[in-house]
Amino acid sequence: MMSHTLVNNFLEYSAERLPDKVALIHQDKRLTYAEIEEMANRLALVLIDAGIERGDRVAIFMDNSIEAVLSLFAILKVGAAFMMINHTTKTRKLEYIMNNSRAKAMLTQGSRGDIIQGINCPHLKTTIMTDSHNSMLSCIPFETLLNSGKTDTVKSTYIDLDLASIIYTSGSTGEPKGVMLSHRNMVSAAHSITTYLENNQQDVIVNVLPLSFDYGLYQILMGFKIGGTVILEKSFTYPYQVIDTMIKEKVTGLPGVPTIFAILLQLKDIDKYDLSSLRYITNTAAALPVSHIKRLRELFPKAKLFSMYGLTECKRVSYLPPEELDKRPTSVGRGMPNEEVYIVNENGEKVGPGEVGELVVRGSNVMLGYWEMPEETAQCLKPGKYPGERVLYTGDLFKMDEDGYLHFVARKDDIIKCRGEKVSPKEIENVLYSLNGVLEAAVVGVPDKILGQAVKAFIALEKGSKITEKDILRFCSQNLENFMIPKHVEIRDSLPKTMTGKIEKSSLKKEQFSEIQTR
């Protein structure tokens, strides 16, 4: 048995072992492991010709597509780190990420041309683009690479301590932070997760989550690791299409977030579809309402339902064994295999059952730190048990029950979880303040049946300003990723303040809760 040391080994070993097996299904295309391996090698050689070297950063700015999968493996083969950037990212943030990481190359799609045209990135030397006929930018067309050129296998010259990926995540300060993950971090997380999910070669996993979200990305990585088949969907916009594919392909694994399950359960004929091939369902990012857990189990009695919890900084923290679901439906479970979790008080001392404290994670899945942000890194990575070891302070408050199972209490900062993705109120407020006419802005999360939390912006306008809620939303849509655009905007004469003159968000939040309760 070949042991996986590097993330790209997931593809390479499966291509050796199961060359003719279908690895990836996307729309009407089916690609085998051997085909993907060959194309990833071709693309890697093109990157080498373009001067990409071990340690460089390369961006993938695409929606869920075969090209995005090929790109990530090609980048890894070269020894560079890939960065999956949400395809709805707008010019200003894209430029920030590209310049912050000093990425030398970008692989993208013609449809992103308008956004890319606006960025000024002195380090960016090479742009490789699919459907490039739509764009005026100078770039290498993606399609021609895959049908011509060299086909040698690229031999890796790097080790598992090298950087495999940087995943940008929202921070409470509003500046996106680049989570640095080594090959070892990612291999370790993938190994732990596939162990407790008991994944095997027969698994057919459907992924509707964006690859820019680590939960979506890992479906590809883990599916390839086990030699299974991954069905990559663009999104869950047309649920029936996804269900139809799930039935035809006899899907065994369905990863989702509460928003996806809420949509699924709203379908009129959900109980009529034959999804008996489902072996497991996973949920993370936010807790499923107990009523949804009940309904999912009625609909899919043969499928094991895993409630999980995690953060990009270590990928996954915990999972609840399905057999514990009846006993503790609101728990997110215990640490994964090969990982230790504990709760500490404000002095960093471990606390006992029932006591609330910050959750700490110890394991080889814990990130290397935030890219070029030593202060932020020092706040969450602190010395561990042995010299040089660092453990992750999650910023999430938890308590443990008598049997060692974790129960989420609250976050220490004001990050909003919307559709399972972290949204930084500060990042949205920064955008709002840049709109002429906005005097004050405060963004909070409000409860929402489908989204979990919806983003709501409270605005006070400068005297004489005539801007409307629509103007504000339009401005947000031009500057923020789609999932960050507020669902609600409320313009007020003024916003409530604390004694020291700061905007008092807690009272805005309280109003929202009481409004919902009285409805």
Partner 1 sequence: MQLKFEIRHFIIDNFLYGQDDNDFRDDISFLEKGLIDSTGILELVSFVEEKYEISVADEELIPDNFDSVNKLSAFISKKIDDGK
- Binding residues for partner 1, per CB under 8 A? 87-88, 111, 234-241, 243, 259-260, 263, 266-270, 419, 450-451, 470-471, 473-474, 477, 482
Shortest Cβ distance from residue 222 to partner 1 (Å)? 23
Closest CA to 323 of 370, 280, 366, 271: 280
SS3 168: strand
SS3 74: helix
Tell me the one-letter amino acid at 202: Q
Shortest Cβ distance from residue 186 to partner 1 (Å)? 27
User: Which residue, 156 or 212, is less far from partner 1 as judged by CB?
Assistant: 212
Q: How, if at all, do strands 105-109 and 81-84 pair?
A: unpaired
Cα 26 from Cα 5, distance rounded (Å): 28
Cα 181 from Cα 369, distance rounded (Å): 8
Shortest Cβ distance from residue 149 to partner 1 (Å)? 29
Closest CA to 309 of 399, 453, 454, 420: 420
Print the SS3 string covering 337-351. CCEEEEEECCCCCEC
User: Which residue, 82 or 483, is less far from partner 1 as judged by CB?
Assistant: 483
**What single string gives the DSSP state of each residue in 179-229?**
EEEEHHHHHHHHHHHHHHTT--TT-EEEE-S-TTSHHHHHHHHHHHHTT-E
User: Which residue, 48 or 263, is less far from partner 1 as judged by CB?
Assistant: 263
- Please give the structure tokens belonging to residue 81: 């780190």
User: Which residue, 260 or 288, is less far from partner 1 as judged by CB?
Assistant: 260
Shortest Cβ distance from residue 145 to partner 1 (Å)? 23
Shortest Cβ distance from residue 101 to partner 1 (Å)? 24
Cα 282 from Cα 305, distance rounded (Å): 6
Shortest Cβ distance from residue 27 to partner 1 (Å)? 11
User: Which residue, 119 or 473, is less far from partner 1 as judged by CB?
Assistant: 473
If phi over 0 gives left and psi between -120 and 50 gives alpha, with beta otherwise, what is residue 279? alpha
User: Which residue, 186 or 476, is less far from partner 1 as judged by CB?
Assistant: 476
Placement of tokens 């296998």 in the chain: 153
User: Which residue, 56 or 421, is less far from partner 1 as judged by CB?
Assistant: 421
Shortest Cβ distance from residue 99 to partner 1 (Å)? 24
Shortest Cβ distance from residue 241 to partner 1 (Å)? 6
Distances (CA, A) of 97 to 123, 361, 481, 482: 12, 27, 13, 17
User: Which residue, 334 or 419, is less far from partner 1 as judged by CB?
Assistant: 419
